[in-house]
Amino acid sequence: MLQTAWKSALAHKARLALTSVAILLGVAFVSGSFVFTDTIQARFESLFSDVYAGTDASVRGVAAEFGGDVRTEFPAVPQTVVTAVSALPEVAEAAGYIQGFGQIIDADGKPVGGMGPPTYVYSWVESPALNPFRITDGNGRAPTASGELVVDAATAQTAALSVGDRVSVQFASGTESFQLVGIVSFGDSNNLAGATIATITFADAQRILGLDGQVTFVDVVGVDSVSQDALVDSIAAVLPPSAEVVTGDQLTAEAISGFTDGLGFLSTALLGFAGVAVFVGAFIIFNTFRIVVAQRTRELALLRAVGASPRQVVTVVLTEALTVAVIASALGVLAGIGFAQLIKAAMGAVGFGPPDGPLTIEPRTFVIGMAVGILVTLAAALVPALHAARVPPVAAMQSSAGVRPARPVRTLLRVGILAVGAASVGFGLLTDRLLVTSLGAVVAVIAVLLLAPVLTRPVTWTVGRPIPGAVGLLARQNTARDPRRTSATASALTIGIALVVFTAIFAASTKDSIASSLDEAFPADLVVAPSNMYMAITPAAAEAVAAVPEVGVVSALRAGAAQIDGVDATVTAFNADTIEAVYTPGADVALATVGDGLLVQRTLVDEGAVAVGDTMTVAFPTGKSAALQVVGSFRDTTLGSYAVTGSTWDRLGGSSDAVTMLIGLAPGVGFQAGRTAVEKALAGFPSLTVNSVSDQIAAATAQVDAFLVLFTALLAMALFIAVLGIANTLALSIVERTREIGLLRAVGLSRRQVRAMITSEAVVTAVFGALLGSLLGVALGWVVVTAFAAEGLSSFSIPVLQVLLWLAVSALAGVIAAALPARKAARLDVLEAIAYE
């Protein structure tokens, strides 16, 4: 029996080739996601293990419970700690150094990096054992004198810097000019996950960052006989309370997790998209086996007639599925390795790539890839296999009917399921129960997919209407011939298009919401903000702007970490005297009258977390705190969750640095003239950018668009698999219809008309799937936007052009999917086709 199955699988290689590709692509996506995330993990592990290989212990300041310093990652400790630690008998060598933030400025005055990865400034460590940086071959030397600088190789390349150049670096305290004397690598890597690194002398670092007599780290090499734990114990004994010590191993682990913590999200997202691809692939596999079983009815009946049991027939079909699954999954895992290389290269191209090195291929990747491919294929082939088992032996004696009577679809039941799903969505939305809404949406989507066969005939009939003549008639009839087959073929595309359209609607609605809220909230002419999240607007910059005659109003927003009733939160401070001229956060009280009060985000009030009139304790990192009364709420999200006036902020010892400066131009000053004047005044602060509100909207829009492109690209795999499915169904149905095509040719259908007929079938099927998908996508988009309206998704926007574009792309995909099958059909020899059994 097994031999029969094997022979059958091998005899129909072509028939199963496209199915294999569907499995292969899904498995490639899954295993590629694993390889990619494993590789990032392993690369950072190896990088930091290498870099901290010589470090047995590290001393640093105890991080504040909340909040921090804009200058450094960790609080500084007194430099005397270095002397104390060095004096210990267990310590072979100790080096104190400084790590802070500084923005490198290129020759054109533009900031380098800083849009994501941090921009570090280090002081040079003389000890080779403890210095993480190596001067690369032939690229200068270490900084030894004040005003000398080395940068990492990737930054040097990005900013086109070479040894001897003058390079500006902007610090919180102002801009400094340096002579580039060397280029360094970080371990074996030319960069640190996209961070820019500027290393200067210890004295310069202390002076510029305002850390005289202090260091941020003391790295220690122990004597050979002492374990890391013992070393840490003896160091801890001599440290002041403001400092702590960790082992080298712990330091390595922290550094690795610092870079790989974000991976969980990435890995989940990639696997989510891989799941979509696999799900779509499952439709193709299911459909292929359904068709194959239908075509082999007589062969299977013959097996039954000569004594095979129904169970053996199931075995035959499933063995064939297993054969395909094993081969395709194995190839899929291999393709996944290539896929991972591709994502890695793409991430590297946008500056977020992992350190260089080989891909990491865990045994787990093989196991999961194979398991997914095999289980999905077997599951998808199971129903067709069970159908095969029900073929009666007498079918061997009957001629295979051209049209199989479709089992009546349980339409009413499915409409009922749809109604239940839709009702749950409505109920969930009205009562604000996200779980009910989501479950309802899933049920409704499944119901629509189940209803697709019922919709097939009317929809394909309408879609195919414009196709004229015999070609149109035949194409419409062929598409409607087996509604289950057509709808299963189209469903793969339905799912893909639904997700693509949903993503497009979500993006468009987000952009609209951002644009309308920014437009509404910011009557300001100009907005000044740091281009680097590690930098701030210093009072000096604020004064420079205030001094510009073209400027009428300047109002700064400050923000920082605080604890409110003991919970970590961000508090924003506004200048009560000037804010209302440039900012309208949708508050229910006049901002000028807030006084000592506290304002909260409207959603907190809506959720019942806070009520106007409550008194809340606001504690600042400075140790000061105050009990403030909630006097009102605001809608705009720029202010975060909590806002106080500048005077309250100052009273609690908040930083004088601002995060945003809102500028209203003086009456009669033109926008361009005002902007030019402000830019000129800020020429000495290159890390600050001057934008109009429309610039900000454009920037936010561009960010959303980037996500849209990324998500659509990841969904493209599912769309591609769906198109393969259409090609596969067509190819199989042409085999089935050989005699019919021969007859059509005999009575005068030209080759061109045969091609047009097959192509029309594909286009009609694709457009049917895409139409259904667009409707589902729009419905899902509406549900999600409505559900998240309170979270700021205020407007629902359908990008009609994009939806139409996807319909057009689907129709084109139909043409492409039909290319080979149509060619094959047109080339059938008329006489052979008529005689085909």
Residues at the contact surface with other proteins, assessed by CB under 8 A: 401-403, 469-470, 473-474, 477-478, 480-481, 739-740, 743-751, 753, 830-831, 834
Which is nearer to other proteins, 382 or 834 (by Cβ)?
Answer: 834
The span from the CA of 601 to the CA of 518, in Å, is 16
Least Cβ distance, residue 309 to other proteins (angstroms): 30
Least Cβ distance, residue 286 to other proteins (angstroms): 23
Which is nearer to other proteins, 306 or 747 (by Cβ)?
Answer: 747
Q: If 0-12 CB within 10 Å is exposed, 13-18 middle and 19+ buried, where does residue 345 land?
A: exposed
The span from the CA of 43 to the CA of 555, in Å, is 46
DSSP 3-state percent helix, strand, coil across the chain (nearest 5): 55, 15, 25
3-class DSSP state of 183? strand
The span from the CA of 457 to the CA of 792, in Å, is 42
Cβ atoms 606, 790 nearer than 8 A: yes
Which is nearer to other proteins, 239 or 743 (by Cβ)?
Answer: 743
Quote the tokens at residue 88.
Answer: 């210990």
Cβ atoms 611, 650 nearer than 8 A: no
The span from the CA of 482 to the CA of 405, in Å, is 8
| Residue-wise DSSP of 791-807 | GT-------HHHHHHHH
Least Cβ distance, residue 473 to other proteins (angstroms): 6
Q: Which residues of 500-536 are buried (b: 16+ CB within 10 A; e: fewer)?
A: bbbbbbbbbbbbbbbbebbeebbebbbbbbbbbebbb
Q: Chain centroid to CA 17: how far?
A: 32
Least Cβ distance, residue 481 to other proteins (angstroms): 5
Which is nearer to other proteins, 399 or 431 (by Cβ)?
Answer: 399
- The dihedral built from the CA positions of residue 324, 326, 331 and 336, taken in this order, carries a sign that is positive
The span from the CA of 769 to the CA of 767, in Å, is 5
Least Cβ distance, residue 323 to other proteins (angstroms): 32
Least Cβ distance, residue 291 to other proteins (angstroms): 16
Which is nearer to other proteins, 134 or 752 (by Cβ)?
Answer: 752
The span from the CA of 4 to the CA of 10, in Å, is 10
Least Cβ distance, residue 472 to other proteins (angstroms): 9
Least Cβ distance, residue 474 to other proteins (angstroms): 7
Least Cβ distance, residue 765 to other proteins (angstroms): 15
Which is nearer to other proteins, 459 or 778 (by Cβ)?
Answer: 459
Which is nearer to other proteins, 157 or 753 (by Cβ)?
Answer: 753
Least Cβ distance, residue 402 to other proteins (angstroms): 3
Which is nearer to other proteins, 411 or 750 (by Cβ)?
Answer: 750
Q: What is the dihedral of CA 297, 300, 304, 307, to 10 degrees?
A: 160
Quote the tokens at residue 770.
Answer: 């895409």
Among 584, 579, 586, 525, CA closest to 550: 525
Which is nearer to other proteins, 409 or 834 (by Cβ)?
Answer: 834
Among 665, 607, 231, CA closest to 434: 607
Our CA angle for 3, 5, 6, nearest 5°, is: 65
Which is nearer to other proteins, 606 or 829 (by Cβ)?
Answer: 829
Helix (H) or strand (E) holding 274, with range, is helix 263-295
Q: Which residue reads 């029969």 in tokens?
A: 4
Query: What number of other Cβ atoms are within 10 A of residue 391's Cβ?
Result: 22
Which is nearer to other proteins, 367 or 473 (by Cβ)?
Answer: 473
Which is nearer to other proteins, 401 or 801 (by Cβ)?
Answer: 401
Least Cβ distance, residue 477 to other proteins (angstroms): 4
Least Cβ distance, residue 399 to other proteins (angstroms): 9
